[in-house]
């Protein structure tokens, strides 16, 4: 069964840095979709200018990977609820959905941002 990993954490917590080790070496996940990396690829000296375009490309790539039923991960601060529909789509395609929470985030951040993940019957989280 394919796996979707949601790498969640507050800004500056080290989600991307941790993902480079956790995903390929521990979880054997080779696909990591990251809007910041996409933006840096589009405009290395001014990635903020292409943030919206990078977000659209990220969502397109996520949908492609969902349709392929591939193992993949994406990172989020959980600041919007858009990830909820992605999780529902993945579960509809019979994928296991996991979330990885960056332990450096405050309890307040974790409880306020992760409550909806806890209601979606996901696999046990990694911390």
Top-confidence residue, 123 or 83: 83
- Helical pair 51-68 and 82-92, crossing angle rounded to 10 deg: 20
Output the six-digit token pair for 104.
């450096």
101 or 104, greater pLDDT: 101
Predicted pLDDT at 64: 98
75 burial (CB, 10 Å; 0-12 / 13-18 / 19+) is buried
Of 105, 100, 104, 103, the closest CA to residue 117 belongs to: 100
pTM: 0.83
d(CA 102, CA 96): 20
Which of 15-19, 64-68, 87-91 is predicted most confidently?
64-68
Shortest CA distance to 121 belongs to which of 66, 84, 73?
Answer: 84
């Amino acid at each position: 069964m394919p796996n979707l990993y949601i790498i969640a954490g507050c800004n500056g917590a080290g989600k991307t840095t941790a993902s480079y080790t956790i995903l390929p070496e521990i979880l054997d996940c080779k696909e990591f979709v990251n809007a910041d990396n996409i933006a840096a690829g589009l405009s290395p000296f001014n990635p903020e200018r292409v943030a919206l375009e990078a977000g659209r490309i990220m969502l397109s790539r996520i949908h492609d990977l969902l349709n392929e039923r591939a193992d993949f991960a994406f990172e989020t601060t959980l600041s919007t609820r858009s990830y909820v529909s992605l999780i529902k789509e993945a579960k509809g395609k019979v994928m296991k959905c996991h979330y990885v929470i960056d332990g450096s985030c405050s309890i307040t951040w974790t409880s306020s941002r992760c409550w909806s993940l806890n209601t979606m019957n996901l696999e046990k989280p990694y911390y």
